Amino acid sequence: MAYSKKSVVWNLLICAALFGCIALFYSVDPSDAVWMPKCVMKQLTGWDCPACGFQRSLHAFLHGEFGEALRYNYFFIVSMPFLAALAIGRWCLRGTARLRWAKYVEHRYVVYAYIAMFFLWWWVRNL
């Protein structure tokens, strides 16, 4: 299959952005940098949102401190395996295998459970 010029350009841009982000989060500690993005939710409501801790966690992860990375946001225990399963379906499988995989991974009970845990985590972390 031929790739269109537009999609090649987009993919290159996305890759560049990705590597840029990795380099940025490796070299800058978000807890020390005033100019790193701050959460709007937290600012408005005072609550930690479900994603809060993501930047500090990524920084720790890139420095090999996995335990530290997890402590910033325990929801990664749920979201990372789910993301990995989705990524396998998207990039490693083709045809029938992909459809079968998606039937389990994207089953509506799995999706609803993820959404339920998302809101549960939001509530729990603000207790």
**Contact positions vs other proteins (CB under 8 A):** 1-2, 30-43, 48-56, 75-76, 79, 82-83, 86-87, 90, 94-96, 99, 102, 106, 108, 111, 114-115, 118, 122
Nearest approach in angstroms of CB 16 to other proteins is: 16
Residue 33, SS3?
A: coil
Candidates 67, 69, 61, 52; CA nearest to 22 is 61
Q: Which is nearer to other proteins, 12 or 116 (CB)?
A: 116
Nearest approach in angstroms of CB 115 to other proteins is: 6
Nearest approach in angstroms of CB 126 to other proteins is: 11
Q: How far apart are CA 39 and CA 51, in angstroms?
A: 9
Q: Which is nearer to other proteins, 11 or 31 (CB)?
A: 31
The two structure tokens encoding residue 91: 């990039």
Q: Which is nearer to other proteins, 65 or 112 (CB)?
A: 112
Q: How far apart are CA 1 and CA 93, in angstroms?
A: 17
Nearest approach in angstroms of CB 50 to other proteins is: 7
Q: How far apart are CA 7 and CA 13, in angstroms?
A: 10
Q: How far apart are CA 106 and CA 103, in angstroms?
A: 6
